């Protein structure tokens, strides 16, 4: 079995922004970490391209939905290498291979008796492409997300018998269930189910931009059903001539934002059950990064624009900050001043400076060769169990806690430099062995935390491991060992220089 992680597919009508970067980077951290552990990983992201919002925008722009989707999807596809995302595939729901598989799965849902034709009337948000239930309508019949008036719509639709899955969903979302994390989101999903599930529209009759319903081609599938199915369909055609479904389905983790909880925690498992497919193992629901425009930096202004951050400070710095300022899974404030403070204090000073100092002392005191010496037992004890702890945290998608555990050791190594004062040891021939221990322990500690930090900061950790002459990334190397040294270390440019 492999390890399968997904982001939501991004709706092509939006410009790529911080929220897209956030989820993508989180999925990439998990994918890279699992690859280090030797897992066969599949990391999927992509774009959601059907539905009324795209059709309307294309009409306004005097173009076709397909053309508009092509243009906009390209911006999201280009975002992936910019973020250093190591996705194994980028799915686009306008791909006919996706459409064909959506039809196959939905035909099974239909054949299993979970659909019927009916008339739907309700309040509809064209931007959400969603009918709102009573509890989701804001004052004055407006959308609570988009703050625009809802439309009263009535149309003949195919319906999905969501109500038939009331009990299975109550069991799936019972207290203590691992299916949705964090627990506050599990509770939110359960309370939605406990209000009583009503059947939902499966198709739209007035729209042509979508996947046609195979048993009633005047209808296209409602965009949400087509979109959710991407997680399954992609495995069927991501690799030419090879079906990966047996290797990777069910998914290990769907990462989602809290705004799409209902679709993923309720509609999605019900749809899979209706089709006779296995359920994903876990949804991890992250919060929103709220911009605190008050805390403003000189170089970045008041809006934390991921593109400006990457241009001036590098991709690694953005990736690091995402999980450092706000605990992953919670809502919290980010700011350009907060970013710059962490860049200067933590990345440049605590980590970058530790790396430069360590390499400089090895060059100065030992001719650029890490001595083969026993490790300092006291320091090594502070690293005991770290690799296992980080792995266990990342198994639970606790990205911020795992990063914090690693960072405590970055700080521990900085204290170790001060405690041992190698510049004093170097002046005393009687302390030559002690200096060997200091330098070997520092190099090894730095190497091990760099292996652990690699999923968060792939570029700078590569540079540092290369400079140490120990480029291997395998998770076996995340624990301290006194072996492997004796080779020459190289030069290292500052990992986190002052911005231009
Ligand atoms: Zn809306």
Lateral strand order in the sheet of 212-213? 203-204, 216-221, 212-213
Is pLDDT above 90 for 126?
A: no
What does pLDDT average to over the chain?
Answer: 95
Q: What is the pLDDT of residue 23?
A: 98
Q: Measured between alpha carbons, how far is 401 from 479 in angstroms, rounded to an integer? A: 18
Q: What is the DSSP letter of 457?
A: -
The strand ranges marked E within 168-237 are 180-181, 200-201, 203-204, 212-213, 216-221
- The H or E element spanning position 78 is helix 65-82
Distance from Cα 481 to the centre of ligand 1, integer Å: 55
Residue 101 φ then ψ, to 5°: -75, -35
Structure tokens at 460: 């700078």
Distance from Cα 297 to the centre of ligand 1, integer Å: 33
Q: What is the pLDDT of residue 300?
A: 86
Active site residues: 17, 20, 125, 128, 143, 146, 295, 298
Residue 38 φ then ψ, to 5°: 85, 10
Q: What is the pLDDT of residue 136?
A: 86
Distance from Cα 5 to the centre of ligand 1, integer Å: 27
Q: Measured between alpha carbons, how far is 231 from 213 in angstroms, rounded to an integer? A: 19
Q: Measured between alpha carbons, how far is 241 from 98 in angstroms, rounded to an integer? A: 15
**Banded pLDDT at 302 (limits 50, 70, 90):** confident
**Banded pLDDT at 309 (limits 50, 70, 90):** very high
Q: What is the DSSP letter of 145?
A: T
Average pLDDT over residues 273-293: 95
Distance from Cα 209 to the centre of ligand 1, integer Å: 19
Is pLDDT above 80 for 72?
A: yes
Q: What is the pLDDT of residue 500?
A: 62
**Banded pLDDT at 52 (limits 50, 70, 90):** confident
Q: Measured between alpha carbons, how far is 121 from 226 in angstroms, rounded to an integer? A: 21
Asked whether the beta carbons of 62 and 107 are under 8 A apart, the reply is no
Distance from Cα 151 to the centre of ligand 1, integer Å: 11
Measured over the CA atoms of residue 49, residue 52, residue 57 and residue 61, the dihedral's sign is positive
Given 3-state DSSP classes, what are the helix, strand and coil percentages for the chain, each rounded to the nearest 5?
Answer: 50, 15, 35
Asked whether the beta carbons of 360 and 437 are under 8 A apart, the reply is no
Q: Measured between alpha carbons, how far is 314 from 309 in angstroms, rounded to an integer? A: 7
Distance from Cα 140 to the centre of ligand 1, integer Å: 14
Distance from Cα 148 to the centre of ligand 1, integer Å: 7
Distance from Cα 13 to the centre of ligand 1, integer Å: 13
Strand, coil or helix: what is 255? Answer: strand
Crossing angle of helices 353-366 and 458-467, rounded to 10°: 10
- The H or E element spanning position 90 is strand 89-92
> What is the residue whose two structure tokens read 């320091």?
379
Distance from Cα 147 to the centre of ligand 1, integer Å: 7
Distance from Cα 138 to the centre of ligand 1, integer Å: 10
Distance from Cα 308 to the centre of ligand 1, integer Å: 29
Distance from Cα 125 to the centre of ligand 1, integer Å: 5
Distance from Cα 219 to the centre of ligand 1, integer Å: 23
The strand ranges marked E within 14-59 are 41-48
Asked whether the beta carbons of 352 and 55 are under 8 A apart, the reply is no
DSSP class per residue in 93-118: TTSHHHHHHHHHHHHHHHHTT-EEEE
Q: What is the pLDDT of residues 171-209, one digit of tens each?
A: 999 999 999 999 999 999 999 999 999 999 999 887 889
**Banded pLDDT at 299 (limits 50, 70, 90):** confident
Q: What is the pLDDT of residue 252?
A: 98
What residue segments make up the domains of the chain, in order of their start?
A: 3-286, 306-478
Average pLDDT over residues 1-15: 93
Strand, coil or helix: what is 256? Answer: strand
Lowest-pLDDT range, 229-238, 284-293, 445-454?
284-293
Instruction: Give burial (CB, 10 Å; 0-12/13-18/19+) of 55.
Output: buried
Distance from Cα 224 to the centre of ligand 1, integer Å: 14
Q: In CATH, what is the architecture of 306-478?
A: Orthogonal Bundle (1.10)
- The H or E element spanning position 153 is strand 151-160
- The H or E element spanning position 284 is strand 283-286
Distance from Cα 123 to the centre of ligand 1, integer Å: 11
Residues facing 191 on adjacent strands: none
From the CB of residue 433, how many other CB atoms can be counted at a distance below 10 Å? 12
Strand, coil or helix: what is 295? Answer: coil
How far the first Cα of the chain sits from its last, in Å, is: 46
Average pLDDT over residues 367-393: 97
Higher per-residue pLDDT: 6 or 295: 6
Q: Measured between alpha carbons, how far is 337 from 320 in angstroms, rounded to an integer? A: 15
Q: Measured between alpha carbons, how far is 282 from 251 in angstroms, rounded to an integer? A: 8
Distance from Cα 146 to the centre of ligand 1, integer Å: 4
**410 Cβ partners below 8 Å, 6+ apart?**
346, 350, 351, 354, 449
Q: Give, in order, the Cα–Cα distances in Å from 207 to each of 54, 117, 212, 213, 487.
A: 11, 16, 10, 12, 66
Residue 23 φ then ψ, to 5°: -65, -40
Q: What is the DSSP letter of 149?
A: B
Peptide bond into 182 cis (omega under 30): yes
Average pLDDT over residues 24-32: 98
Distance from Cα 139 to the centre of ligand 1, integer Å: 13
Lowest-pLDDT range, 121-130, 135-144, 320-329, 395-404?
121-130
Lowest-pLDDT range, 127-131, 247-251, 279-283, 297-301?
127-131
**pTM for the predicted model, two decimal places:** 0.94
- Domain 3-286: which CATH number of 3.40.50.1100, 3.30.1060.10, 3.40.50.800, 3.40.50.620: 3.40.50.620
Q: Measured between alpha carbons, how far is 35 from 50 in angstroms, rounded to an integer? A: 33
């Amino acid at each position: 079995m492999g390890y399968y992680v997904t982001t939501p597919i991004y709706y092509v009508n939006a410009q790529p922004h911080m929220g897209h970067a956030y989820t993508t980077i989180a999925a990439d951290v998990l994918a890279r970490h699992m690859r280090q552990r030797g897992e066969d990983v599949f990391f999927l992201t992509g774009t959601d391209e059907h539905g009324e919002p795209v059709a309307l925008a294309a009409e306004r722009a005097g173009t076709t939905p397909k053309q508009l989707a092509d243009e906009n999807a390209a911006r999201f596809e280009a975002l992936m290498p910019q973020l250093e995302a190591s996705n194994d595939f980028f799915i686009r729901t306008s791909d006919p291979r996706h459409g064909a598989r959506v039809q196959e799965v939905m035909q099974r849902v239909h054949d299993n008796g979970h659909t019927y034709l009916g008339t739907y009337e309700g309040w509809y948000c064209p931007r959400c492409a969603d009918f709102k239930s009573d509890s989701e309508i804001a004052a004055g019949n407006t959308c609570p997300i988009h703050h625009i008036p809802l439309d009263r719509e009535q149309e003949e639709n195919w319906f999905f018998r969501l109500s038939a899955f009331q009990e299975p969903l109550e069991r799936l979302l019972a207290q203590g269930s691992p299916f949705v994390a964090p627990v506050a989101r599990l509770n939110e999903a359960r309370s939605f189910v406990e209000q009583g599930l009503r059947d939902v529209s499966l198709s739209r009759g007035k729209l042509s931009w979508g996947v046609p319903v195979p048993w009633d081609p005047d209808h296209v599938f409602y965009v949400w059903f087509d979109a959710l199915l991407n997680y399954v369909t992609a495995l069927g055609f991501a690799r030419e001539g090879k079906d990966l479904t047996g290797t990777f389905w069910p998914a290990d983790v769907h990462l989602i934002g809290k705004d799409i909880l209902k679709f993923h925690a309720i509609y999605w498992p019900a749809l899979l059950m209706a089709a006779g497919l296995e359920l994903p193992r876990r949804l991890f629901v992250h919060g929103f990064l709220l911009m605190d425009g008050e805390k403003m930096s000189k170089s970045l202004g008041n809006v934390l624009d991921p593109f400006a951050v990457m241009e001036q400070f590098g991709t690694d710095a953005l990736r690091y900050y995402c999980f450092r300022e706000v605990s992953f899974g919670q809502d919290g404030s980010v700011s350009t001043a907060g970013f710059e403070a962490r860049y200067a204090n933590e990345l440049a000073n605590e980590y970058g400076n530790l790396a430069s100092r360590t390499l400089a002392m090895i060059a100065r005191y030992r001719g650029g060769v890490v001595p083969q010496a026993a490790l300092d037992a006291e320091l090594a004890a502070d690293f005991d169990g770290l690799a296992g702890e980080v792995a266990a945290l990342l198994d639970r998608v606790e990205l911020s806690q795992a990063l914090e555990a690693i960072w405590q050791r970055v700080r521990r190594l900085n204290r170790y430099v001060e405690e041992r004062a190698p510049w004093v040891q170097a002046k005393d021939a009687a302390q030559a062995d002690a200096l060997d221990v200091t330098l070997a322990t520092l190099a090894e500690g730095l190497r091990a935390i760099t292996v652990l930090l690699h999923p968060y900061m792939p570029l700078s950790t590569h540079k540092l491991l290369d400079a140490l002459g120990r480029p291997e990334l395998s998770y076996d190397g995340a624990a301290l060992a006194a072996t492997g040294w004796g080779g020459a270390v190289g030069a290292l440019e500052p990992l986190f220089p002052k911005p231009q």
